Every structure is written in C-alpha cells, then in structure tokens.
Amino acid sequence: MRISPKLIRQARQINNLLPPLLYPNRSLEQAQLELKWITEELPPNQWVQAVKRRSLYEPLQYILGSQPFGDLDILCRPGVLIPRWETEEWVKRLCNSLSGQQYKILDVCTGSGCIPILMDHLLKQRGIDSNIEAFDISPIAVELAQENAKLNQSSISFTQNNLFRVRDLGKYDIIVSNPPYITKDEYATIGKSVKLYEPQLALIGETEFYEALVHNVVIPSECHSFVFELGNQSQADIVQSLLPHWNIGTMKDSQENLRCVIGSKDKSFMTLCN
C-alpha cells in the first residue's frame, strides 16, 4: 500500500530523517524506533547515509552491523543470513530442555554461527559441558562465524564443509540446523528486504537439504537427537519418511507457524513438540 502524504508530512515534522524510513517500516512508530537505533548506534556523520540505505530496503542489521540474539550480539554482514527471532526462540527452548551432563553437538549450515554460539553460552550458564562444532559451505559465513565466536568468547570450531559431500564427519549426540527452506514458489512472496539483500544460498531449498541432513549427517554421525528449522510440512514429512524407526515431531513458534522438525531415538526431545 502507498504511504499517505499526510503520514509523510507528519513524519517530517518530527524529524527530517524520518520520512525515508517509512518505506521499509510502513508505520510511523516502527520508523521512529529504527531512527532511534540508528542515532544511538552510529556516529552522527553516518546517519544520513544509513537512512538512505535503509530507505532502499537494506536490512537494518547490515547497516548497524549486528543483531541481538538471546543476550548475545551477533555480527551481520552482506552475504550471510541475519539471525531470526524464531531461531533464537527454539534454541532457547532446546537448551532449557537439556538435562544431561555432557553433549557433543554439530550445527550444519551455521551461517553467522548464531545457533552454536548461543547454545554454548546457554549451556555454560546451566553448568552443562558441551563440545560444539559447526560448518557451512560459504567461506564468508565461516569467517564471520569465527569472528562472532571470538566476540562472544566461545571456543567453537567452525569449518568449511559441503552438506551434500560431507568430509571428515565425527560422532555427535545432537545435530541442529537451520538450512535454506524457502521454496522457489514462496521466494516470490518473501519480504522485500530479504529478497533484495540476503543471500539466496542461505534461503532457497525444497526438501533436498533435509534429505541430505538425514543421509549424510544424522545416520553416519550416530546421533541420538536432532532439531532442524523448517518452513513447510513437506519438509517435516520427508524427514519422517526417511527415519521410520525414530520418534519424529514438530514444533510451532510463538506466532503459531510450523518451525521445527524434531527427532530422537529415545523420547527425550519429544517434550519440545507441540
């Protein structure tokens, strides 16, 4: 919908930098919040440029350079997917449900490294020993993830590896992943700022990533449980069909959207399902 001239006038009266922010934000309240964050986090000589970039739908996280994730800050850079609140939510739920002494965990398609770094942080807080590794196909993602680990005092090892041709896979207890899950059809309808600025490599996937996760990681790593983020039911169904002897369930996020497929050999992870 078109932004009304009245709203633009109203925004200009509050602050001259506000009208351009109406386009990506659609509401005055949200535009004001973003302007507040821009002026709080960037030096004054960068404000005009930041507002201009944002008005062209560039994600605020690329402009400010970070995204809060749990109580951590994750660096964000073009070419790597920005962490989402839905991911933060299931990672917190998962960590709260773990009660063992020690876990060996692998994160596949790690991107910025937000999942393993937050898990490491939360498990440490709960006094649980963990040994976490992660990989991604993109070298710029691996580099950013390593920077993020350093920034958050985490000793996770990040390597470059291809899910479809995995090399040197170890043994793990738990596998987690947020693979690309937007189908080609859905891609046409996604948020403008995602489509224009975030990497397709981290976004587009049908069911091939879930098939590869099962065949190339879950089975050979001999893990007992996994949590994979997803976007539609057929992705959960394929996992279920490939692992007929496992307990498989799904989890909705707090917006009531289907968000994860969860599997475990015993029933330990099934409390996460809803």
Partner 1 sequence: MIRGIRLNIGGLVRHYAIPKKNKLPPRPTWLINEEDIEEKFIKGGSGPGGQKINKTNSKVQLKHIPTGIVVTNQSSRSQETNRKRAREILAEKIQFLQDPENSRLAVVTDRKVKVKQSKSKKAARKYKKLAEEKEEPDSNFEETVDIEGDFFTK
Q: Tell me: does residue 117 bind partner 1 (CB under 8 A).
A: no
Is position 215 an interface residue for partner 1 (rule: CB under 8 A)? no
Using the rule CB under 8 A, which residue among 254, 266, 271, 274 binds partner 1?
Answer: 254
Per-residue binding string, partner 1, 33-72, x by CB under 8 A, is: xx-xx---------------------xxx-----xx-xx-
Binding to partner 1, residues 155-214 (CB under 8 A): 178, 180-182, 186, 189-191, 193-194, 198, 202-203
User: Does residue 257 belong to the site contacting partner 1 (CB under 8 A)?
Assistant: yes
How many Cβ atoms sit within 10 Å of the Cβ of residue 98? 19
3/22 Cα distance (integer angstroms): 8
**Residue among 34 and 133 whose Cβ is closer to partner 1:** 34
CB nearer to partner 1: give 41 or 211. Answer: 41
Stretch (H or E) spanning 130: strand 129-136
CB 50 within 8 A of CB 42: yes
234 binds partner 1 (CB under 8 A): no
Token couple for 82:
């920005």
Q: What distance separates the 2 farthest-apart alpha carbons in the chain?
A: 64
Indicate the helix (H) or strand (E) that contains 69. Answer: strand 66-69
Q: How far is CA 143 from CA 46, 120, 152, in A?
A: 26, 18, 14
Structure tokens at 175: 């596998």
Binding site for partner 1 (CB under 8 A): 30, 33-34, 36-37, 59-61, 67-68, 70-71, 81-82, 84-88, 178, 180-182, 186, 189-191, 193-194, 198, 202-203, 229, 231, 253-257, 259
